[in-house]
Structure 1
Amino acid sequence: MSDPPSALRALSHRSFLLFFLGVSVATTGQFMQSLAVPFYVKELTDSNFWVGSTAFAVLIPSLFMTPVAGIWSDRVSRKALLFGSFALQLVASVVYLVLYTSDLLTPWLMLGLQFAVGVASGFQWAPTQAMTVLLVPPEDLVAAVRFVSLSFTAGRALGPAMAGLTLLLWGPGPAFLITTIGFTLGMALMAPMKLRPPVEVKREPFWVQLRQGMDYIRQRPAMRLIMGTSFVVAFSGAVFAFALVASVADDVFSLPDGGLGFLTAIFGVGSLVMGLYVIRFGNRHLRSRVEAASVAVYSLGVLLVGATPWLAVGLVGYFILGLAHMGHGVTVNSALQVQVDERFRGRVMSVWLMSVLLGLPLGSLVGGFLGDLVSMQFVLLLFGGLLAALWVGVVLVRPDGFAGLDGGPD
């Protein structure tokens, strides 16, 4: 029997397959809740600033917990960290469900719960990103990284699509219930997986290790570029697919209750299309060219959504955003995973996640404030312009553009 194609070979490793399935199921439930919360906040308050505040409340603690998780990922079991994060988020989902069904869920209580979810999810992303290398051999790492990105994207597509229909027909309660089921089933699927022992890392004080990780990044221009680009893309682009999608659906397209699921679902479809493409054909393209194209297309998508109140055009714009988001995410993730020294993997991946987690809450607060002060269409056009300026600054002004992303192992 011939070997499976290289793009699919990562799934032939049983533990990685269980990891891929478990994370896909858990994130699907996670995105059900992430859509239900802004939907219910918008319904209760009719305020873009409140919608942005709930995103800020969940993302800021994640920002501060992520470097802790990154350092712990280089010290302790990455599987235990991930399971602990999922278990705490499961408890929060149960509390959401109980309070909602008791008619006790208020905007202030949701802020508090979002903060708790943010603390827990801060321990999710660094071990998720750092675990892949312990599940597959080096020759399958890039393909495995693409599958991990696809698992996140699958949740991003299925979760909102399910949430949109659920919110429209039954409200937030069933969405919170499905989230609890998703975390439970995801952990059950991943329980049997076995990880190779990680490289031993010298145990030093937290701040010493964090500083070493930051110094490691500062000494590498390509990694500095990835961090800066990821922040701007999160602040100016991804914020409309995550934190402010409820505001875009309501203020720009006047969608009915639950209709924001259409935007997030079509974003997920675009991401899935690009994800399947890069898994099959990703090795044919330089990462520098894919990233340059992704930033340009991201800008185009945001500007297109902000340029018209027509839903059909908005759906095209969100599909384009999904394509660009997946292209950008897989490209920078792959570049980091390939180039980083294993001794610094957890810390470097956590700093990258911090750049995203900092951009999203700041973008949600600024965008929500300006959306109430001026309009959400103004915010879309402004942020789309920022993405265009990033593309010009890197591709046309910077001498080597994104070429540093094409490098091999450190």
Structure 2
Amino acid sequence: MEYPHWRRLAAFYVTSQTVSLLGSFLVHYAMIWYITLTTKSGSALAIATLCGFIPMFLISGFAGVWADRYSRRKLIVAADAVVALATLVVMLAFMSGYKELWLMYTVLAIRSLGSGVQSPAVSALTPQFVPKERLMKVNGILGSVQSLGNVASPAVAGILLTFWPLYLVFAVDVVTAIIGIFLLLVFVKVGHHNPGVAHETSQLREFKLGLTYVRQHFFVGRFLTYQALCTFFLGGPVIIGNLQITRVFGADSWRLATVETCFGIGAAWGGLAVSAWAGAKQEYKTIGIALTLLGALTMGLAVSPQFWCFAGFTALIGLAVPYCSVPTMTLLQRTINPDQMGRVMSISTMIATATMPLGSGILSPLADAFDVRLVMAISALGLALSGLLIWRDRQFAKIPLPDAYSESESELEQPAATTVETAE
């Protein structure tokens, strides 16, 4: 189904996601800071981190099946509503004076489940109404919004916690969720994608069919393998970077905050840059070049003699990251069979949420055994090598160009199931 007014739909869609994301980021930082300030316990923070990671990983596979089986728009709304309800419950508990830590962990876990359900639905809904040749622009804007939220939310959360009780910060998330849901339901009227899969089919079997699709597709399985490799080595600049700052330049909180801000600002500008100029016409070339550049910039982190040099390289890394993430999302969105979109996106999410902690879990102990700058250099080489492999992989040259792509032209794809779109 074509949407001649897709720009208006995209504008309201981006606005709804922006409002919802800002509220979510704000409350997430507020909860983490509250746990940090009240417990001063590393174990408490570790539990909070697990509560924010494990549920999302466990639900992602089934969430992809739901995104292919049910209305993606309604899944996004349902996830937002459940998270808002959980936030409302903890807000009322805090208002009544009940401030047990287990309640915070429970809400973090519920929020993680909501993110796991929402992520593949959001990724799969966008190409339903945005033309393939415009996906890069819309994805770039969404990525920029997310980066701006990551930059602004810690500062706003800190200001609000200074002057407001925590339950009022929770109220902000409830209000933004209601606004986001309203905009999505009222102004983003996108048809219901129904792949015609019999509902008697078990969800586990449908997820296995998604894995089979990835394995048999002429490039998706190969591409997701590279994604896992890249995400593993990203543990260097993401995790090891903080260790290098504290050990080499000084254990000052303002240094950590400065680097986070530099990265966020760079990523926000990078998202806008991608929406204006997407790079090479074949997305895999842009991804490969950007990853190779990321490797070089990460090597710059490893050899930085001064803190401000380190911060500058971090800003450039933030600028380059969208040229990896946005083309990756766009490439998958425009080439995957629409009937398999949710499942493939959920598999991609599972890979990212598993390999990043794995990378940090391996690289962090190495940083204790060896010079942290050496470990950062290893990450840099891994990123650069990953980029070169993607850039020079001849299998990716078979991917149809955006303006030439149609499912009938790709004989190597798994045959598509019949699709039907009906108005919700």
Say whether the 8 Å CA contact 1:52–1:368 is kept in structure 2. no
1:214 to 211, 215, 234: 211
In terms of mean alpha carbon deviation, does 394-403 or 289-298 score higher?
394-403
The AA in structure 2 aligned to 1:85 is A
Tell me the TM-score normalized by structure 1. 0.80
Q: Which has the larger radius of gyration?
A: 2
Say whether the 8 Å CA contact 1:160–1:265 is kept in structure 2. no
In terms of mean alpha carbon deviation, does 119-128 or 36-45 score higher?
36-45
C-alpha offsets along residues 29-51 of structure 1, whole Å, 9 cap, x if unaligned? Answer: 22223333443444455565654
Deviation at 1:125, TM superposition (A): 0.4
Q: Go from structure 1 to structure 2 and tell me whether the alpha carbon gap of 1:329 and 1:246 turns closer, same or farther (over 3 Å shift).
A: same
The AA in structure 2 aligned to 1:224 is G
Q: What's the counterpart of residue 221 of structure 2?
A: 224
Q: What's the counterpart of residue 14 of structure 2?
A: 20
Say whether the 8 Å CA contact 2:289–2:388 is kept in structure 1. no
Deviation at 1:178, TM superposition (A): 3.2
Q: What's the counterpart of residue 77 of structure 1?
A: 71
RMSD value, Cα: 3.8
Q: What's the counterpart of residue 391 of structure 1?
A: 384
1:296 to 269, 292, 299: 292
Q: Go from structure 1 to structure 2 and tell me whether the alpha carbon gap of 1:365 and 1:238 turns closer, same or farther (over 3 Å shift).
A: closer
Q: What's the counterpart of residue 419 of structure 2?
A: none
Say whether the 8 Å CA contact 1:227–1:352 is kept in structure 2. yes
The AA in structure 1 aligned to 2:99 is L
Say whether the 8 Å CA contact 2:161–2:169 is kept in structure 1. yes
Q: What's the counterpart of residue 6 of structure 1?
A: none
Q: What's the counterpart of residue 196 of structure 1?
A: 191
The AA in structure 1 aligned to 2:69 is R
Alignment partners' CA distance in 1, 2:316 and 2:220: 26
Say whether the 8 Å CA contact 1:51–1:244 is kept in structure 2. no
Alignment partners' CA distance in 1, 2:112 and 2:308: 34
The AA in structure 2 aligned to 1:331 is P
Q: Go from structure 1 to structure 2 and tell me whether the alpha carbon gap of 1:244 and 1:196 turns closer, same or farther (over 3 Å shift).
A: farther
Q: What's the counterpart of residue 415 of structure 2?
A: none
Say whether the 8 Å CA contact 1:395–1:402 is kept in structure 2. no
The AA in structure 1 aligned to 2:379 is L
The AA in structure 1 aligned to 2:270 is M
C-alpha offsets along residues 167-221 of structure 1, whole Å, 9 cap, x if unaligned? Answer: 5776866654433333222222222120023252322221221111111111235
Unaligned runs of 5+ in 2: 411-424
The AA in structure 2 aligned to 1:196 is G
1:326 to 312, 322, 325: 322
Describe the SS at the equivalent of 1:149: helix
1:159 to 150, 153, 159: 153
Q: Go from structure 1 to structure 2 and tell me whether the alpha carbon gap of 1:34 and 1:294 turns closer, same or farther (over 3 Å shift).
A: farther
Alignment partners' CA distance in 2, 1:245 and 1:55: 19
Alignment partners' CA distance in 2, 1:248 and 1:172: 33
Q: In percent, how many aligned pairs have the same letter?
A: 20
Q: What's the counterpart of residue 338 of structure 1?
A: 334
Structure 2 residue 181 is matched with structure 1 residue 184: no
Alignment partners' CA distance in 2, 1:224 and 1:76: 25
Structure 2 residue 89 is matched with structure 1 residue 92: no
C-alpha offsets along residues 51-92 of structure 1, whole Å, 9 cap, x if unaligned? Answer: 454233212211121121111111111111101111122233
Unaligned runs of 5+ in 1: 1-8
C-alpha offsets along residues 104-147 of structure 1, whole Å, 9 cap, x if unaligned? Answer: 253x5543332222112111101100111222344434433333
The 5 A counterparts of 1:230-269 are 230-237=227-234, 254-256=251-253, 261-269=257-265
C-alpha offsets along residues 308-341 of structure 1, whole Å, 9 cap, x if unaligned? Answer: 6955334324323322321211011111011111
Q: What's the counterpart of residue 135 of structure 1?
A: 129
Structure 2 residue 372 is matched with structure 1 residue 354: no
Alignment partners' CA distance in 1, 2:24 and 2:320: 22
Describe the SS at the equivalent of 1:111: helix
Say whether the 8 Å CA contact 2:35–2:44 is kept in structure 1. yes
The AA in structure 2 aligned to 1:34 is H
Describe the SS at the equivalent of 1:202: coil
Alignment partners' CA distance in 2, 1:231 and 1:123: 21
Q: Go from structure 1 to structure 2 and tell me whether the alpha carbon gap of 1:70 and 1:398 turns closer, same or farther (over 3 Å shift).
A: same
Q: Go from structure 1 to structure 2 and tell me whether the alpha carbon gap of 1:19 and 1:338 turns closer, same or farther (over 3 Å shift).
A: same
Alignment partners' CA distance in 1, 2:213 and 2:286: 25
Q: Go from structure 1 to structure 2 and tell me whether the alpha carbon gap of 1:17 and 1:358 turns closer, same or farther (over 3 Å shift).
A: same
Deviation at 1:246, TM superposition (A): 8.2
Q: Go from structure 1 to structure 2 and tell me whether the alpha carbon gap of 1:46 and 1:141 turns closer, same or farther (over 3 Å shift).
A: same
Alignment partners' CA distance in 2, 1:43 and 1:368: 25
Alignment partners' CA distance in 1, 2:45 and 2:92: 22
Say whether the 8 Å CA contact 2:287–2:387 is kept in structure 1. no
Structure 2 residue 138 is matched with structure 1 residue 144: yes
Say whether the 8 Å CA contact 1:297–1:320 is kept in structure 2. no
Equivalenced residue count is: 396
Deviation at 1:300, TM superposition (A): 4.5
Structure 2 residue 29 is matched with structure 1 residue 35: yes
Alignment partners' CA distance in 1, 2:332 and 2:48: 30
Alignment partners' CA distance in 2, 1:235 and 1:32: 27
Tell me the TM-score normalized by structure 2. 0.78
Alignment partners' CA distance in 1, 2:242 and 2:38: 13
Deviation at 1:103, TM superposition (A): 7.4
Q: Go from structure 1 to structure 2 and tell me whether the alpha carbon gap of 1:387 and 1:248 turns closer, same or farther (over 3 Å shift).
A: closer
The 5 A counterparts of 1:268-279 are 268-279=264-275
The AA in structure 1 aligned to 2:212 is D
Describe the SS at the equivalent of 2:189: coil
The AA in structure 1 aligned to 2:50 is F
Alignment partners' CA distance in 1, 2:89 and 2:75: 22
Q: Go from structure 1 to structure 2 and tell me whether the alpha carbon gap of 1:244 and 1:68 turns closer, same or farther (over 3 Å shift).
A: farther
Say whether the 8 Å CA contact 2:298–2:379 is kept in structure 1. no
Alignment partners' CA distance in 2, 1:248 and 1:105: 35
In terms of mean alpha carbon deviation, does 299-308 or 15-24 score higher?
299-308
